[in-house]
Amino acid sequence: MAEESGNHNDLEAKESYWNWKEFKTNVVKASDAGPDASMRGRRFLDGADRWFRKLDGITHRFIPEGYHPFIQAGAIANFMFAVAVLTGFALLLWYSPSVHYAYDSVASMADKPYTAELMRSLHRYSSDAFMLFVIFHAFKVFFGGRFTGSRWLAWVTGIIGLIIIWFDGWLGYWLVWDERGAMIATATAKMVDVLPFFAEPLKASFLTDDSFNSVLFLIVFFLHMLIPIGFCIAAWLHVSRLNKPMFFTNFRFSMILLVSLIAVSLLFPADIEGRADLMSAPENVSGDYFYLLPLILTERLQGGTLWLLFLSGFLFLSAMPWLMKRRKKEGKPVVDEIKCTGCEQCFYDCPYNAISMVPRQVGNPKKSEFVAEIDHSICVSCGICVGSCDPVAIDYPNLSPWEIRRKLDRWLDEENRSFEGQYVAFVCGNSAGSSLTIDPETGHCREMPGYLVSTLPCAGWIHPVLIERALKKGAEGVLVMGCESDPDFRLGADWLGDRMEGERHPEFRKDRYQKDQILFLKMDKPEFNKFLNEAQQFRSQKKSDNQNGKKNRPVWKTALAGALITAILAAVMIWPSSAGIPLPERDSELVISFRTEGAPVYAEESSDESVPRHMQRDDVQQVERRSDVVVRVSAAGEVLFEDTFKPKGIFRRGYSSGIITIPLDPGSHQIEVQFGDFIDDEIEWKRSGKRKLHLETAERVVLLYNEQQGFRWYERNRAKEE
């Protein structure tokens, strides 16, 4: 008889399925319940987010949540950072922070494969893994739309932290002082020279092997050691608004990650390029794309253009929380002090630390000394505090608990029922039910006939009393749908599950209703069809195997899936870490770096009437400024370059300096370089240097000139003074 009744109710549900074309009220999607539903590009973001959710779901079938690499991307990144820091300190046992010995100390690590080389490889691959998981985490957050509103701080500090670690890795490759290190040094100098920090161009330090200042190398070394402190500050700010943040993976998962890193390091030791040679450009080098990708641009663009691209990109990404957010008046939860009992449950349940307990100002002080207060500058409008509040003292304007109660009463009223066997569904707007099409006035749902559906910003919004009320008013059953992997509002679905199991206040009173009257599911957006099947089975009173609880997975399947995921992640990490960097074709070139003073230009004589004549000196002339310096470069009588350089200083009394780069074809060239003073529109040549150069392809010849040391020519493997 029960089966016949169930079939009869299903038939009534289908027969009474309302005509969508004749529906007159406002129809909405379940996903519109979220506070970020009005975000620009929401459809595009949702489409990409579904792929991430699908990846999470496939992995979760075989891997328990405590070992899930994609759900814990942020915690894994922090663990990799810790490994990189510890192995970095360990490397000090073998590394020499001197420009003259750094390369040899790193190259000699290959002779100790299970100590020094292992530490270096762990240092490199943990740094690469950090970048890999941070980038993955950032994409998940972006496509999930979890960066607008009050979550802007986490987004901006995340970008800053990523830049800090990238720059630290950039300097780390410099310290190896191989061909890559030389390229990084010259690229850094190109950008720094745009800024008015140094009197002399930093690029001048990287023209010859002799000109590189060892003190600068030490500064880079100490910067590399200290920069991680800046990241720790950014990471602290990144999670400062989170309740119960997961800083690191659990111990067992951390050991698995460490063993995986050791295996990769032993199988694929970190490479090293040839010794740095500032007199020639490498034809090709392998590069770590996680840190050295900018070399593709620095080898082709000027410093000013690079700064423009960097600052524009940083500002654009940092402004995303405001660019993507539509201007929409959002209702934030408000605490009624008179009703608040000061139980502190909402304070403990808020995932974003937006609630604090403050002295009571209104109401009976005997009820409690303190009441809850919501900081709207931090609140993300998830509504979890509504489900935590036993006296219903928190009102959420976007979804008032009193309004939902009135709707439930109206929907389940016997006069309004269209058929027997009515079921109620509470659906999180970011869960598998996000695509449902619902009439918010009647609760009818296009895809779920026989259900009265109410959408929620988060499953944690539900107070257990609301479920009890629906059953008391005559609902045959209540279905609750929440997020499963990496929920948009972090802890909401977990808190609700604990309440329904009686493990968290306010508890669901299980003794009043039968267990099979309630179904609590946690599924992600890609599992829409599975969710509809589960909902239909629930109406048919068929037992579900997907109800919230632990999933039994065969150990061998978990181990095999874990090994496969580890291999894939290792490949994704290793390939960019050793791929070649496309370099532009290099011309042979002559580089001239000079520093010289122009001729003094004296002030015109004038008598100072305020000084007595007998106190004025006639034998001293004051230098008003120095003349401009003219540099001319000729080859076999043909002028290749000529320009004027002004003296430095506010009053133009300093020296003139500059760096000149002149492309030359491979072969022999008779070069003459002249320096002169530009006075009264005439040039007075004062010094000249000549040299016959023999250039090979992509070779650099450097001329250093100052008045004390004269002309110093540097060709590859030899130098000469004139």
Q: What's the pLDDT score for residue 73?
A: 94
Distance CA 121, CA 87 (A): 9
Q: What's the pLDDT score for residue 623?
A: 65
Q: Cis ω on the peptide bond leading into residue 113 (within 30° of 0)?
A: no
Instruction: Compute the average pLDDT of residues 211-230.
Output: 92
- Co-location of 597 and 687 in the same domain: yes
Distance CA 592, CA 396 (A): 70
- Co-location of 319 and 339 in the same domain: no
Q: What's the pLDDT score for residue 403?
A: 87
Q: Which has the minimum average pLDDT: 165-169, 217-221, 452-456? A: 452-456
- 491 contacts 527 by C-beta, under 8 angstroms: no
Domain count, the chain: 3
- Co-location of 413 and 289 in the same domain: no
Q: What CATH number is associated with residue 234?
A: 1.20.810.10
Residue 400's pLDDT band (boundaries 50, 70, 90)? confident
- In this predicted model, what pLDDT tens digit does every residue of 613-623 receive, in sequence order? 555 555 555 66
SS3 516: helix
- Co-location of 528 and 643 in the same domain: no
- Predicted confidence (pLDDT) at residue 643 exceeds the cutoff of 50: yes
Q: Tell me which of 323, 346, 365 is where a domain ends.
A: 323
- Co-location of 594 and 643 in the same domain: yes
Q: What's the pLDDT score for residue 444?
A: 87
- In this predicted model, what pLDDT tens digit does every residue of 120-132 receive, in sequence order? 999 999 999 999 9
Domain with 27 in it: 9-33+334-378+381-539
What is the rounded average pLDDT for all residues in the chain? 86
- 401 contacts 392 by C-beta, under 8 angstroms: yes
The number of residues making up the chain comes to 722
In a domain, 555, yes or no: no
Residue with tokens 């042979």: 588
Q: How far is CA 431 from the centre of its chain?
A: 25
Give the pair of three-digit tokens for residue 626: 């120095």
Distance CA 403, CA 452 (A): 15
- Co-location of 26 and 57 in the same domain: no
Q: What's the pLDDT score for residue 720?
A: 46
Q: How far is CA 570 from the centre of its chain?
A: 20
Instruction: Compute the average pLDDT of residues 594-614.
Output: 70
Give the pair of three-digit tokens for residue 22: 């004749």
Q: What's the pLDDT score for residue 542?
A: 58
**Distance separating the N- and C-terminal Cα atoms of the chain:** 112
Question: Dihedral of CA 443/444/445/449: which sign?
Answer: positive
Q: What's the pLDDT score for residue 25?
A: 46
Instruction: Compute the average pLDDT of residues 353-376.
Output: 87
Give the pair of three-digit tokens for residue 261: 């890193």
- Co-location of 366 and 318 in the same domain: no
* DSSP category for residue 132: H
Residue 22's pLDDT band (boundaries 50, 70, 90)? very low
* Alpha-carbon separation of residue 655 from 314, 604, 630, 650 (angstroms): 37, 22, 13, 12
Short-list 389, 357, 361, CA closest to 373? 357
Residue 446's pLDDT band (boundaries 50, 70, 90)? confident
Q: In terms of C-beta density within 10 A (0-12 exposed, 13-18 middle, 19 or more buried), how is residue 479 classed?
A: buried
Higher pLDDT, 366 or 376: 376
Instruction: Compute the average pLDDT of residues 311-335.
Output: 86
- Co-location of 490 and 592 in the same domain: no
Distance CA 354, CA 714 (A): 65
- 448 contacts 44 by C-beta, under 8 angstroms: no
Distance CA 161, CA 232 (A): 8
- Co-location of 706 and 662 in the same domain: yes
Distance CA 128, CA 132 (A): 6
Q: How far is CA 390 from the centre of its chain?
A: 39
Residue 491's pLDDT band (boundaries 50, 70, 90)? confident
Q: What CATH number is associated with residue 697?
A: 2.60.40
In a domain, 275, yes or no: yes
- In this predicted model, what pLDDT tens digit does every residue of 681-700 receive, in sequence order? 889 998 999 999 988 888 88
- Co-location of 302 and 438 in the same domain: no
Q: In terms of C-beta density within 10 A (0-12 exposed, 13-18 middle, 19 or more buried), how is residue 87 classed?
A: buried
Short-list 330, 338, 348, CA closest to 391? 338
- Predicted confidence (pLDDT) at residue 507 exceeds the cutoff of 60: yes
In a domain, 438, yes or no: yes
- Predicted confidence (pLDDT) at residue 360 exceeds the cutoff of 70: yes
Instruction: Compute the average pLDDT of residues 35-62.
Output: 85
Residue 417's pLDDT band (boundaries 50, 70, 90)? low
Residue with tokens 């400024």: 625
**Angle in degrees, 0-180, between the axes of helices 528-539 and 2-15, rounded to the nearest 10:** 130
Q: Tell me which of 523, 539, 555 is where a domain ends.
A: 539
Q: Tell me which of 296, 323, 350 is where a domain ends.
A: 323
In a domain, 548, yes or no: no
- Predicted confidence (pLDDT) at residue 220 exceeds the cutoff of 90: yes
What percentage of the chain carries pLDDT values higher than 90?
A: 50
Per the DSSP assignment, residues forming a β-bridge with 624 are none
In a domain, 160, yes or no: yes
In a domain, 347, yes or no: yes
- Co-location of 209 and 342 in the same domain: no
In a domain, 399, yes or no: yes
- In this predicted model, what pLDDT tens digit does every residue of 644-694 receive, in sequence order? 999 988 888 889 999 999 999 999 999 999 999 998 888 999 899 999 998
In a domain, 581, yes or no: no
- Co-location of 280 and 343 in the same domain: no
Instruction: Compute the average pLDDT of residues 99-106.
Output: 95
